[in-house]
Structure 1
């Protein structure tokens, strides 16, 4: 086995221009980023148009105050969930794939890592396709050409690595604020913003509070579970948690509440299906400046989520196949763009959200193993497969699915998370401690 200095040297010897992404080893302390840089990566990820949509949908279904409560509860849960995983990443410098190796085994990790790394590439395809569809709807432009151009741009940005994610994040978040304020200002000219608190929704009981919490959590359950890919660059665990807090609850809340407020104001037509998509508000007046804002906003905002998801997928798959993140960025990026060009992206959202419901138990197992049982597991012998991790994941996912089908009043995401955590702790604590 190579010594740590040799391994680090191998990881950093990638060329004169682009630094290593440390696909196969922890990020050394000498290469960690500032709190501002890591925060920019996470802050600019959830503050996006596609996060305003579920916020508006939940408010449309439940009414303003219940919808607001569901959004806040879901974001607080996400802060604890993602924050714990981030703390571990900041302490160790390990990516999600390396974290999964510890918990699921040196061979078993491939199932967990491959599963999530594939799901996030699906989200890349979905949002690349949504970029073309949004600009076609707004301006009548050729959707296919826009998807192709946007896809190439997003792949190129991801290829540059973690630094580029901080760049686009630092631009996407302020741009969202500008677009949101502009949309509220335009909406105020034709709607009564003072009536927002009285909005009762249009759902008629079609969505429960528990389902609403799941809808909000599922939007970022995948990349949230893979947070280590971003927060492993933090100087320590505390800074990793601070960086995470800029995303959950801050950035996520801003995006979702923007969609919810505009729905409650009656400014969005067909809110029960369109959710909080506020771009039609900006294009409605036919103002050239607002049209330009929409163009830049859609490309940068959806570009932010696309680059982050592709980075997650490429980093995970590069470790799985023993390659480099940048090579997998090109391969998976091309596959994602082709899927988007074929229009199949529009079929993804339902099953991707369902998979997102099955993800929290996986993260719960990681939290139980590497945070709660951290001291107990110190010096634990390596294993090719850790059956207890898969049993707990399956138990949590199974209960989440049953909750989804038969007990919709509860949040299947939260239920699966709690069950996965409890089952893993019960199995591990009932066994003797095994060390080298």
Structure 2
């Protein structure tokens, strides 16, 4: 199998990967400490019953969104940048791809910063050194390409389940029970039900929109959907649920701020558990960080003449420096931005593929796509501030899809397609 990452062309059939390999890439991504934190915050606010409903609903929405984009990726072999080229134009895609490829580097920085503070809280390590070691390891992991993402997923997923199971076991040993946990009423946090759904959706709005960077390696569209399903609703729901259970059994040290972070429950249980915990931190956070850095590097490579690997080194270095400044901690504002701005991009990609599936002329810029994206993002922003009971991502997606469909269908093809064409892309 080739070691080529196909930054500028579709993945050929000879280099496609099996379902287990591609599913491992996606399943290992959301089963992480960060999602356990968010799951705990949701259950702390809503209680176990309503919190679990918000988690499941959010994941079903993600499956519909990411599954559709994954089908396109598996069917065509195109990465996110090549999909955006069809929808937004050969030059126009630079704004979209550059934006999302930068946003995911923010998530990389978040994982690097979280590595440092986690090791400091558990073992007293200097957070700067912990972050630097983590950042360097995550970059090296990314340089190995899609194969490494598959391997780290195969390692990280069972390791997460083992360590989370141990944490719950130790937490239950403090006098709590699972039956009482499922009756937990919550009410301690400020998040409403639909805000909780938005958190679930917003957490993967960016890399979910860029899912084709992973699922283009699948054998076909069906395999791409199945690979996405391994993460949404399954792996992602499990990670959120574990964080919720940690809060519900009283195992969270500060559920209002740290949600369902469970590593504290593993402290003080001998050298073996301590060693596994350190390995777990690097493997778990490394999986998320490497996925994000891979998205970012493939994205920037798609709009430049450069290749993924040198870009991964440069972007990883920038992301690590940003992490050490502490900016990564402003996660709430980050999620709001993602839920408002990103889903309309996915809507444009899907509608464009459906309406121009048999082949489309990729023009320099496609104004209709940008109009749909902008109007969708505006609608989501208005909903966020004026309709606090709504799910911003759904409103933005639906609005952008309606605008893209309406204008494309209403206008004659010679008007709806820009006059200056630069390339032809087959369906």
Q: Which runs of 5+ in 1 are unaligned?
A: 1-11, 13-17
Deviates more, 1:172-181 or 1:416-425: 416-425
SS in 1 for 2:362: coil
Distance in 1 of aligned mates of 2:359 and 2:301: 27
Q: Aligned residue for 2:11?
A: 27
- State the shift of 1:343 in Å: 2.7
Identify the match of residue 179 of structure 2 among 182, 194, 202: 194
- State the shift of 1:222 in Å: 0.6
Q: Check if 1:89 corresponds to 2:73.
A: yes
Q: Aligned residue for 2:393?
A: 413
Distance in 2 of aligned mates of 1:71 and 1:262: 15
Q: Deviations over 1:309-360 (max 9, x none)?
A: 000000011122210000101110111111122333224x233212211211
Identify the match of residue 307 of structure 2 among 315, 324, 338: 324
Distance in 2 of aligned mates of 1:29 and 1:52: 37
Contact 1:223 1:309 in 2 (8 A): yes
Q: Aligned residue for 2:206?
A: 222
Q: Deviations over 1:23-59 (max 9, x none)?
A: 1000011111111111111111011111111111111
Deviates more, 1:85-94 or 1:257-266: 257-266
Deviates more, 1:233-242 or 1:144-153: 144-153
Identify the match of residue 132 of structure 2 among 137, 142, 148: 148
Q: Check if 1:352 corresponds to 2:334.
A: yes
- State the shift of 1:66 in Å: 0.6
Q: Aligned residue for 2:384?
A: 404
Q: Check if 1:307 corresponds to 2:287.
A: no
Q: Deviations over 1:368-421 (max 9, x none)?
A: 111x3244xx23332111111111111111111111112111111111111111
Distance in 2 of aligned mates of 1:421 and 1:207: 28
Q: Check if 1:390 corresponds to 2:370.
A: yes
Contact 1:117 1:316 in 2 (8 A): yes
Contact 1:202 1:272 in 2 (8 A): no
SS in 2 for 1:149: helix
Contact 2:86 2:360 in 1 (8 A): no
TM-score by length of 1: 0.92
SS in 2 for 1:47: coil
Q: Aligned residue for 1:291?
A: 274
Distance in 2 of aligned mates of 1:33 and 1:60: 40
Contact 1:55 1:255 in 2 (8 A): yes
- Structure 1 segments (4+ residues) deviating >4 Å: none
Contact 1:71 1:213 in 2 (8 A): yes
SS in 2 for 1:198: coil
User: Residues 55-134 of structure 1 correspond to what in structure 2 (within 5 A)?
Assistant: 55-134=39-118
Contact 1:51 1:252 in 2 (8 A): yes
Q: Aligned residue for 1:269?
A: 253
Q: Aligned residue for 1:373?
A: 355
Residues 209 and 374 of structure 1: CA distance in aligned 2, closer, same or farther (over 3 Å): farther
- State the shift of 1:286 in Å: 4.2
TM-score by length of 2: 0.94
SS in 2 for 1:382: strand
Contact 1:210 1:412 in 2 (8 A): no
Q: Aligned residue for 1:256?
A: 240
Contact 1:179 1:294 in 2 (8 A): yes
Distance in 1 of aligned mates of 2:359 and 2:219: 24
Contact 2:201 2:393 in 1 (8 A): yes
Distance in 2 of aligned mates of 1:379 and 1:301: 41
Contact 1:120 1:310 in 2 (8 A): yes
Identify the match of residue 426 of structure 1 among 387, 401, 406: 406
